[in-house]
Amino acid sequence: MKRLTHLESYVRSVRPEFETMLGDLVETPSVSSDPRRAEDIARTATLAKQCAERLGAQAQIVTTSGYPVLSGGWDVGKQYPTLTIYNHLDVQPAQEPEWKQDPFVFRKEGNQYRGRGTTDDKGPALTALFACKYAVDQGVPLNLRFLWELEEEIGSPNFQDALDQRHVVPRPDSVLVSDTIWVSRQRPAISTGLRGLVAARLSLRTGTTDVHSGLTGGGARNPLAELCAAVHACVDARTGRVKIPGFYDEVLRPTAAEMKQFLSSGFQVSRFKKAYGFRSIRTENCSDLLKRIWAAPTFEVHGLPGGHMGPGVKTVVPPSGEVRVSMRLVPNQHPRKIFSRLKAHLKKHNPDVRVESSGQLEPFRGVTQGPYAQALHQAVQAGFGKSPSLIREGGSIGAVALMERAWKVPILFFGLSLPEHGYHAPNECFDWGQASGGIRTFVEYFSRVADHSAGGDSSLRSSGQALRSE
Amino acid sequence: MKRLTHLESYVRSVRPEFETMLGDLVETPSVSSDPRRAEDIARTATLAKQCAERLGAQAQIVTTSGYPVLSGGWDVGKQYPTLTIYNHLDVQPAQEPEWKQDPFVFRKEGNQYRGRGTTDDKGPALTALFACKYAVDQGVPLNLRFLWELEEEIGSPNFQDALDQRHVVPRPDSVLVSDTIWVSRQRPAISTGLRGLVAARLSLRTGTTDVHSGLTGGGARNPLAELCAAVHACVDARTGRVKIPGFYDEVLRPTAAEMKQFLSSGFQVSRFKKAYGFRSIRTENCSDLLKRIWAAPTFEVHGLPGGHMGPGVKTVVPPSGEVRVSMRLVPNQHPRKIFSRLKAHLKKHNPDVRVESSGQLEPFRGVTQGPYAQALHQAVQAGFGKSPSLIREGGSIGAVALMERAWKVPILFFGLSLPEHGYHAPNECFDWGQASGGIRTFVEYFSRVADHSAGGDSSLRSSGQALRSE
């Protein structure tokens, strides 16, 4: 109780510094998918290192074959367990016409923070950092570390490089991943699983140059029309049903107990529609919708570049086109198997369509029982004054599967984003309510993990795979 | 014969002036589909007027609700028949990455002229102009007029405005349209029909903003996938068969005699593939291919803007998308009927898809028999030393149907473009061989039309509809 009183004044006192740091990070456009932003990524790494050092942590820029990873923290003693918090500091592109401001100018409006990266994931990263600082200052007997990636939005292609450097990225006893989203502001949510991803580029070239559709139309193949047919061969666009043979073979369907938990999360179809701005969706049934977004795989079309995109009508038959697609996977689907099935299916449908992988991520099931899960549940209750619901996450975090494979320690999720924060969308924002509640929750969690550990709960000192079966 | 000797020295002597004028016109980027080029269109009108006046013609810039039309010529006497030559001076966009030069810089390489608009249709327009000048100077008893449009590439939306101004755009006794293409350099071709066009924009909006495909995928509708399905519902992309009910109902199939003429045109499947740079086409059978490109309707996809088009992968579900399509029509299909059928079909398939017209042009059958057709046949033989083949044109020229309806006079086609000229394609070019042969042919045609007329062939003085039945 005494600790929480101190905590309140700490939270109040760090707000200006939190906002300055968040502003500096948001105004450095770390768009990992855009090669022209490479310098901004490098600047973000330096900036993040400075932020950590200003709070007394040591921090190291770990080089990889791609963009670096930031690794650091406060080592308080080898006798204590280590907890690593994962966040990422790269961001999505921000070219949507709907932006009401320059996405890379930080704006504070009351309790709201606006700009690309505020909620995904720069705000939560700083929230955790400030919580660590407090816990360390209070003498919480835990080695608190952070791991900040700069290639999360492109599927973590080089994160393994960082994990391989064990002297600078030490294996912790548990991991907390803070890059997930609540169902609603009214009730905190703990994610217990992630969907995987198979992204692919389908391309077709039938000519070498734009040709006149009057002079050649009828004889010329139309690569865009053929790619539309290829998409139609893969998915029933209205129902979302994927038509690739074998696609659903390994899907682990959610249990009745899980479905019950999903339904008690406070999820509302109408709120979902409003939060994401949908005019209509594929189902209005709550149970069906939750199954679709958290526990079922998908096939999406993201864009079909090719042909005339400029102003006006141009009646040409283009020489080529491509479709960018991705599939979200659920446990126990295997990205490589699914990609092979897509390839085989399209080869049968139209052998001229080239299918290339644009990234694969495994689906993931997190820790839902045992002392860590319990500590997190209680910490959220303390930090936000409300008991959290156990949900799943429809998104994918590539680094998670890699950390699990490398470290074999429990990985838990606690994110701070809200549906209205515009995660991966225009007008992204974060807010002080989530940041301050987040600092409280993280501090409480660290404290409980330390208490359990000191109380001889040996299961909190990981000894490898064993713990994962909790 | 004496006339032709003079003509040869005339042709040689005007070449430098022809090239200067063509260069000036090509370097004024009159892209009618791009609103940012409005000033260049105005500049083109002024420039074209100056070209005509420099050759002794009078010329007038006729204003319309859109871009102007140039009308002018040499009036030699009301007692003589009037022949109007139609060309257009607006051009296609030139954003293709395949351009090996700035498309709006005129380049002369030996006999070749390079740049956007050289063959379509600035080169042929000047060719006809120089022929008129010669014929007038030689005292050919014909009122030779020209009509140069600046909105041909966008479907002639305001050409009727110009036709309505009869005092500046007088009704002629016949029309020669010079905006068509030969089958090969080896044999001149006279087109006897055009395909029509129905262009449309299919759009679908299911949300208001880009959303995360992990957070919403499965529940969210995917407008791009639904538009792909809509395309698939309209056309079998591999065969080209249009699936809109009633689409083929009014199609006038080519007669056996026409097919025979098509086949004797010197058309070669391999040359067609090479000229347009195709890797593969829908059929390798010559007769089937000719029927497809000249005498059968089509359904083409030109572009699908929507979703993420920038660099990298962006796994969002976009809020909307659109497909730009067009259908080429053949006699006796009716653009309005076809558009209604498309609309009704898509309404049944997916009622949320909006279908908007982007322009309609009627198909056209030209004059194939009688004195004008005969004069043209002989003129081509004289101008190029080879007898022409009678073919059809797969493209559409909106102004043609309007002139026919307004004037009810014979309309004949004689174009100078070659397949290798890159009509509506990157690296467009024209050449002096076609220009000089074109001047000879036009002069010969004028002379023959005048001779026939003077010889009392009253059918060459149009008295309206009667002539059209020839």
Q: Provide the residue ranges of all domains of chain A, joining segments of one domain with +.
A: 2-194+364-468, 197-251+297-360
Per 3-state DSSP, what percentage of chain B is helix, strand, and coil (rounded to 5)? 40, 20, 40
Q: Do B278 and A350 touch (CB under 8 A)?
A: no
Whether residue B400 lies within 8 A of chain A, CB to CB, comes out as no
Which pLDDT does position A468 carry in this prediction?
27
Phi, psi of B224, deg, nearest 5: -70, -40
Which pLDDT does position B458 carry in this prediction?
46
Q: Do A278 and B206 touch (CB under 8 A)?
A: yes
Q: Which helix (H) or strand (E) holds B67?
A: none
Candidates A442, A447, A361, A336; CA nearest to A154 is A361
Tell me the pLDDT band of A453, cut-offs 50, 70 and 90: confident
Average pLDDT of span A201-206: 96
> What is the sign of the dihedral through the CA atoms of A450, A453, A457 and A463?
positive
Residue A87 pLDDT > 90 = yes
Q: What is the pTM of this model?
A: 0.78
Which pLDDT does position A147 carry in this prediction?
98
Identify all chain B residues contacting A309, using CB atoms and an 8 Å cutoff: 303, 305, 309
List the single residue in B with minimal CA-CA distance to A230: B228
Q: Dig out the tokens for B98 from the structure.
A: 């395949």
Q: Which residues contact A161 (CB under 8 A, 6 or more apart)?
A: A64, A65, A66
Q: Dig out the tokens for B80 from the structure.
A: 């003589």
- pLDDT 10s digits, A213-255: 998 999 999 999 999 999 999 999 999 999 999 999 999 999 9
Tell me the pLDDT band of A461, cut-offs 50, 70 and 90: very low
Whether residue B97 lies within 8 A of chain A, CB to CB, comes out as no
Residue A29 pLDDT > 70 = yes
Average pLDDT of span B98-112: 96
List the single residue in A with minimal CA-CA distance to B296: A218
Q: In CATH terms, are B2-194+364-468 and B197-251+297-360 the same topology?
A: no
Which pLDDT does position B456 carry in this prediction?
55
Candidates A54, A181, A170, A162; CA nearest to A123 is A181
User: Would you tell me which residues 256-295 of chain B have a C-beta closer than 8 angstroms to some C-beta of chain A?
Assistant: 272, 276-283, 289, 292-293
Tell me the pLDDT band of A415, cut-offs 50, 70 and 90: very high
Q: Do A229 and B226 touch (CB under 8 A)?
A: no
Which pLDDT does position B194 carry in this prediction?
92
Q: Do B328 and A214 touch (CB under 8 A)?
A: yes
Cβ(A233)–Cβ(A353) below 8 Å: no
User: Would you tell me which residues 14-53 of chain A have a C-beta closer than 8 angstroms to some C-beta of chain B?
Assistant: 33-36
Identify all chain A residues contacting B197, using CB atoms and an 8 Å cutoff: 214, 315
Whether residue B300 lies within 8 A of chain A, CB to CB, comes out as yes
What crossing angle do the helices spanning A2-26 and A432-454 adopt, rounded to 10°? Answer: 130
Identify all chain A residues contacting B284, using CB atoms and an 8 Å cutoff: none
Give me the interface pTM, i.e. the ipTM.
0.79
**Amino acid letter, residue A218:** G
Which pLDDT does position B423 carry in this prediction?
83
Average pLDDT of span B1-8: 66
Residue B365 pLDDT > 90 = no
Identify all chain B residues contacting A413, using CB atoms and an 8 Å cutoff: none
What crossing angle do the helices spanning B223-234 and A223-234 adopt, rounded to 10°? Answer: 110
Quote the minimal CA–CA distance from A324 to chain B in Å. Answer: 8
Q: Do B222 and A301 touch (CB under 8 A)?
A: yes
Q: Which of B237, B305, B311 comes nearest A229 by C-beta?
A: B237
Q: How many of the other CB atoms lie within 10 Å of CB of A138? A: 14
Which pLDDT does position B27 carry in this prediction?
98
Tell me the pLDDT band of A60, cut-offs 50, 70 and 90: very high
Considering only B30-34, B240-244, B389-393, which range has the smallest mean pLDDT? B389-393
Which pLDDT does position A263 carry in this prediction?
92
**Amino acid letter, residue A264:** S
Distance CA B379, CA B402 (A): 26
Which pLDDT does position A3 carry in this prediction?
53
Average pLDDT of span A277-298: 97
Whether residue B423 lies within 8 A of chain A, CB to CB, comes out as yes
Mean pLDDT estimate for chain B: 92
Which pLDDT does position A359 carry in this prediction?
87
User: Which position has the higher pLDDT, A389 or A127?
Assistant: A127
Q: Which residues contact B369 (CB under 8 A, 6 or more apart)?
A: B470
Considering only A147-156, A289-298, B109-118, B456-465, which range has the smallest mean pLDDT? B456-465
User: Would you tell me which residues 65-94 of chain A have a C-beta closer than 8 angstroms to some C-beta of chain B?
Assistant: 92-93
Mean pLDDT estimate for chain A: 92
Quote the minimal CA–CA distance from A189 to chain B in Å. Answer: 14
* C-alpha radius of gyration, chain B, whole number: 23
What is the CATH class of A197-251+297-360? alpha beta
List the single residue in B with minimal CA-CA distance to A272: B216
Tell me the pLDDT band of A454, cut-offs 50, 70 and 90: confident
Distance CA B433, CA B413 (A): 19
Distance CA B103, CA B19 (A): 16
Candidates B336, B388, B323, B344; CA nearest to B363 is B336
User: Which position has the higher pLDDT, B393 or B12?
Assistant: B12
Tell me the pLDDT band of A275, cut-offs 50, 70 and 90: confident
Which pLDDT does position B155 carry in this prediction?
83
Q: Which residue has the tokens 């493209």?
A: B395
Which pLDDT does position A470 carry in this prediction?
26
- pLDDT 10s digits, B400-438: 989 999 999 999 999 999 988 988 889 999 999 999 999
What crossing angle do the helices spanning A38-54 and A2-26 adopt, rounded to 10°? Answer: 150
Q: Dig out the tokens for B65 from the structure.
A: 């609700």
Residue A4 pLDDT > 60 = no
Going from the C-alpha of B397 to that of each of B121, B122, B195, B196, the distances in angstroms are: 12, 15, 8, 8
Average pLDDT of span B145-172: 96
Distance CA A120, CA A89 (A): 8
Whether residue A251 lies within 8 A of chain B, CB to CB, comes out as no
Residues in chain B: 470
- pLDDT 10s digits, A117-133: 999 999 999 999 999 99
Whether residue A97 lies within 8 A of chain B, CB to CB, comes out as no
Residue B289 pLDDT > 70 = yes
Distance CA A251, CA B52 (A): 74
Residue A469 pLDDT > 50 = no
Whether residue A206 lies within 8 A of chain B, CB to CB, comes out as yes
Q: Which helix (H) or strand (E) holds B112?
A: strand B112-114
For residue A183, what is the DSSP state?
Answer: S
Q: Which of A280, A310, A394 comes nearest B215 by C-beta?
A: A394
Q: Which of B207, B358, B393 comes nearest A313 by C-beta?
A: B358
List the single residue in A with minimal CA-CA distance to B420: A211
CATH superfamily of B2-194+364-468: Zn peptidases (3.40.630.10)
Phi, psi of B114, deg, nearest 5: -115, 145
Q: Do A226 and B240 touch (CB under 8 A)?
A: no
Quote the minimal CA–CA distance from B436 to chain A in Å. Answer: 24
Cβ(A70)–Cβ(A89) below 8 Å: yes
Distance CA B460, CA B470 (A): 11
Q: Which residues contact B354 (CB under 8 A, 6 or more apart)?
A: B201, B202, B203, B204
Q: Do A95 and B318 touch (CB under 8 A)?
A: no
User: Would you tell me which residues 115-134 of chain A have a C-beta closer than 8 angstroms to some C-beta of chain B?
Assistant: none
Whether residue B98 lies within 8 A of chain A, CB to CB, comes out as yes
Cβ(B120)–Cβ(B423) below 8 Å: yes
Q: Dig out the tokens for A308 from the structure.
A: 């005339």
Quote the minimal CA–CA distance from B357 to chain A in Å. Answer: 11
Q: Which of A281, A313, A317 comes nearest B221 by C-beta?
A: A281
B203, B213, B393: best to mutate for the A interface, most A CBs within 10 A: B213
Q: Do A218 and B296 touch (CB under 8 A)?
A: yes
Whether residue B299 lies within 8 A of chain A, CB to CB, comes out as yes
Identify all chain A residues contacting B358, using CB atoms and an 8 Å cutoff: 313
Q: Dig out the tokens for B394 from the structure.
A: 């797969």
Tell me the pLDDT band of B311, cut-offs 50, 70 and 90: low
- pLDDT 10s digits, B227-262: 999 999 999 999 999 999 999 999 999 999 889 989
Whether residue A308 lies within 8 A of chain B, CB to CB, comes out as yes
Q: Which residue has the tokens 């006897």?
A: B192
Q: Do B276 and A425 touch (CB under 8 A)?
A: no
* C-alpha radius of gyration, chain A, whole number: 23
Distance CA B202, CA B288 (A): 30
Does residue B121 have a cis peptide bond before it, meaning omega lies within 30 degrees of 0?
yes
Q: How many CB pairs under 8 A join A and B?
A: 357
Quote the minimal CA–CA distance from A201 to chain B in Å. Answer: 9
List the single residue in A with minimal CA-CA distance to B419: A215
Cβ(B138)–Cβ(B6) below 8 Å: yes
Residue A281 pLDDT > 60 = yes
B33, B120, B215, B397: best to mutate for the A interface, most A CBs within 10 A: B215
